[in-house]
Amino acid sequence: MEEILSQFTEYLQKEKKSSENTMLSYTRDVREFFAFLKESDIHDVRKVNRTNLISYLYRLEKQKKASSTISRSVASLRAFYHFLELRGEIRENPALDIMPPKTVRKVPLILSKEQVELLLMQPDSSKPIGKRDKAILELLYATGIRVTELISLQVEDVNFLLSYLRCKVKKKNRIIPIGSKAKEALMIYLEQGRNKLLHQDTEKHLFLNYNGKQMSRQGVWKIIKGYTLQAGIEEDVTPHTLRHAFAAHLIENGADLHAVQEMMGHADISTTQIYTKRLENKLKVVYNQAHPRA
Positions marked active-site:
146, 170, 240, 243, 266, 275
Quick count: other Cβ atoms within 10 Å of Cβ 27?
A: 18
Largest CA distance in the chain: 70
| Pair 200, 217: CB distance under 8 Å | no
Distance linking the first and last C-alpha atoms of the chain: 63
What is the H or E stretch that residue 275 is in? helix 269-290
- Which residues make Cβ contacts (< 8 Å) with residue 70, sequence separation at least 6? 57, 60, 61, 100, 101
**What distances in angstroms separate CA 129 from CA 1, 118, 124, one per listed residue?**
45, 18, 8
The residues pairing with 175 across neighbouring beta strands, listed in sequence order, are 166
3-state secondary structure of 266: coil
What is the DSSP code (8-state) at residue 175? Answer: E
Q: For residue 277, give the amino acid letter.
A: K
Adjacency order of strands within the sheet including 164-169: 158-159, 164-169, 172-177
